[in-house]
Amino acid sequence: MRCFGDGDPLYETYHDTEWGNPVRGDSALFERLSLEAFQSGLAWITILRKREAFRAAFAGFDPQAVADYDEHDVARLLSDPGIVRNRAKIEAVVANAGALVELQAGGGSLTELIWAHAPARRVRSPRPATFADVPSSTPESAALAKALKTACFRFVGPTTAYATMQACGLVDDHLAGCPSAR
């Protein structure tokens, strides 16, 4: 039995092929960070079902394209029923695209910034038995959130940072007994 997702083919595929697997590349990490911010306060399956609409709305999460969005684009996104229409989250994604473009212009990358905060051990030992045994944040996610905020990213607290770390494979929190646990 999977940690989560059993019974929903979209959720099962996400669990089996993405969650906990290492992700690198600024656009891919920008997408994951953005989706985790949109997920805040919602069920992940809600975001997963809207993922293609998010990709269309945010130019495939091309940081340069999204950084160029203006108030007309924000208004367009606020009227898009395919995505979560939350002004603060939409504006954060646009601002984060600008922060990423600035980071790159200075010779940095989101890949380097995020992966610099990977814990020494990717897998807990022993593996957690239930999600109650999995933290919502860690010292590494707090440090990542601080580094992202220093780089002018928004809507990236320690919990969102930890969810990003889980989604992008910096940590592997598959539960003991899950077929994806390695």
Is residue 10 a contact partner of residue 17, using CB atoms and an 8 Å limit? no
0.85 surpassed by pTM: yes
C-alpha span between 82 and 54 (Å, rounded): 7
* pLDDT (mean) for 139-147: 98
Report the pLDDT value the prediction gives residue 182, as an integer from 0 to 100. 73
**Does residue 140 have a pLDDT over 90?**
yes
Q: Which amino acid is at 13?
A: T
C-alpha span between 8 and 35 (Å, rounded): 19
Question: Under the phi-then-psi rule, with left for phi > 0, alpha for psi from -120 to 50, and beta for the rest, what region is 61?
Answer: left
Give me the CATH code for the 24-167 domain, please: 1.10.340.30
Q: Which residues are catalytic?
A: 14, 36, 44
Contacts for 53 with CB less than 8 Å, ≥ 6 apart: 80, 82, 83
Residue 147: φ, ψ to 5°: -65, -40
**C-alpha 171 chain-centroid distance:** 13
**Does residue 54 have a pLDDT over 80?**
yes
Give the pLDDT band (50/70/90) at residue 19: very high
Is residue 141 a contact partner of residue 159, using CB atoms and an 8 Å limit? yes
Residue whose structure tokens are 């990490």: 29
Give the pLDDT band (50/70/90) at residue 17: very high
Residue count of the chain: 182
